[in-house]
Structure 1
Amino acid sequence: MSIKRISIALAAAAGVVLLAASPAFAGNAHFIDHHTGASLSGTSLVVSFKEAGLESGSVETVTASAHLMAMYQCINNGGSNPADPKKTTVDSEVSQSGQFTANKNGQLVGSLMLATPAAASVLDCPNGQKAMLTAGTWSSIELTDETSGAWTAIDGTFSFGAPVGHGHK
């Protein structure tokens, strides 16, 4: 056997060993629609998901984002707003990220919670009144895997509460 043939055979054998030793890379990352959704937990939005097509053991950074429209009001001790109500509306994008590890099948399952801002951080009420989150709606919900590039939108809007009525209690 010539030296050239031996060199080619050794190179081919080394290539086979390297390919067999490296982990499989799926390369088709995607969120599975029927395992991905959102729900309310009080006033917070919980976004649950399942992603597939990932490399086994890969660590993925997933971000959930949504639009929040929320009303905060000053409420008196009787449970109503005063005749001259003080209120404000928050109209903003909220997001939360987390790191998740794909299992041996290249899948990950997780959830992220988007919280409303604390009432006291949004509205300053006069003495005898307290700031309260009274109503809100989450919409335009999206999930993005910052690592793999997978993305999906979640249909629906999720509303909570109702504005407190005016009165002199």
Structure 2
Amino acid sequence: MSIRRTLAALAATAALVFAGAAGPALAGSPHFIKNATSAHLSGVDLVVDFKEAGLESGAVETVVASADLSATYSCVNGGNNVPSDPKKTTIDSRVSGSGEFTAGQNGNIVGSVTISPTPADQALDCPNGQDATLFSVVYTNVTIEDLDSGAFLAIRGTFSS
């Protein structure tokens, strides 16, 4: 009888350990709310507004927004004109922005992350008397990801100025 009780106790202990290990993973299902997550331009910056749900209350999450960016820069002279033989460049790259957010008591985070293009003076070296200027941006393949919870969402659309 004592062997049966010992085995029963071990089985019960194992079940509790397993349930405890699996419990937090099953407690929530972190995800971005699709109809509450969007992107828009603010000048040349892309702002990604989001809502994430299914988190543990008080959880601190690192959220990253990323996009493919095609940005065109040109040199502009002192009269705000583009010279007849303009020096310009287009940079295509993957850009991102991030932030840390704390989930409220309801396990939700509502926030925004801003993505910015490379500053013009870092993208293009202009001759004396001319200033590097950003002429246009096109953001595509926008995504948002929570590096801590693993939540991920792709945002449809092309955002250009």
Matched residue, 1:73: 74
Other-structure match for 1:164: none
> Aligned residues, how many?
145
Matched with 1:42 is 43
CA deviation string 1:94-151 (max 9, x = no partner): 1112111111111111101001111111111111211000111011100011111110
Deviations 1:10-42 (A, max 9, x none): x99xx8xxx9xx999632111001110001111
**Whole-Å separation in 1 of the counterparts to 2:33 and 2:154:** 11
Partner of 2:55 in structure 1?
54
Q: Does 1:127 align with 2:116?
A: no
Tell me the residue number matched to 1:148. 149
Percent identical pairs in the alignment equals 54
Does the Cα contact within 8 Å between 1:25 and 1:56 map onto a contact in 2?
A: no
For the residue of structure 2 that corresponds to 1:126, the secondary structure is coil
C-alpha displacement at 1:82, in angstroms? 1.2
Contact 2:98 2:114 (C-alpha < 8 Å) held by counterparts: no
User: Is the alpha carbon distance of 1:50 and 1:124 closer, same or farther for their aligned partners in structure 2, counting shifts above 3 Å?
Assistant: same
Cross-structure match for 1:102: 103
TM-score, normalised via structure 2 length? 0.83
TM-score normalised by the chain length of structure 1: 0.79
Secondary structure of 2:27's counterpart equals: coil
Q: Distance in 2 between matches of 1:24 and 1:138?
A: 35
**Contact 1:31 1:49 (8 Å CA) reproduced:** yes
Long gaps (5+) in structure 2? none
Residue of structure 1 in register with 2:84 after alignment: 83
Contact 2:66 2:95 in 1 (8 A): yes
SS in 1 for 2:95: strand
RMSD of equivalent CA atoms: 2.1
Aligned mates of 1:116, 1:53 — CA distance in 2: 32
Question: 3-state DSSP class of the match of 1:47?
Answer: strand
Q: Please report how far the alpha carbon of residue 77 of structure 1 lies from its aligned counterpart in structure 2 after TM superposition.
A: 1.9
Gaps of 5+ in 1: 161-169
Which amino acid in structure 1 is aligned with residue 60 of structure 2?
V
2:116 aligned residue: 115
CA contact (8 A) 1:144 1:151 kept: yes
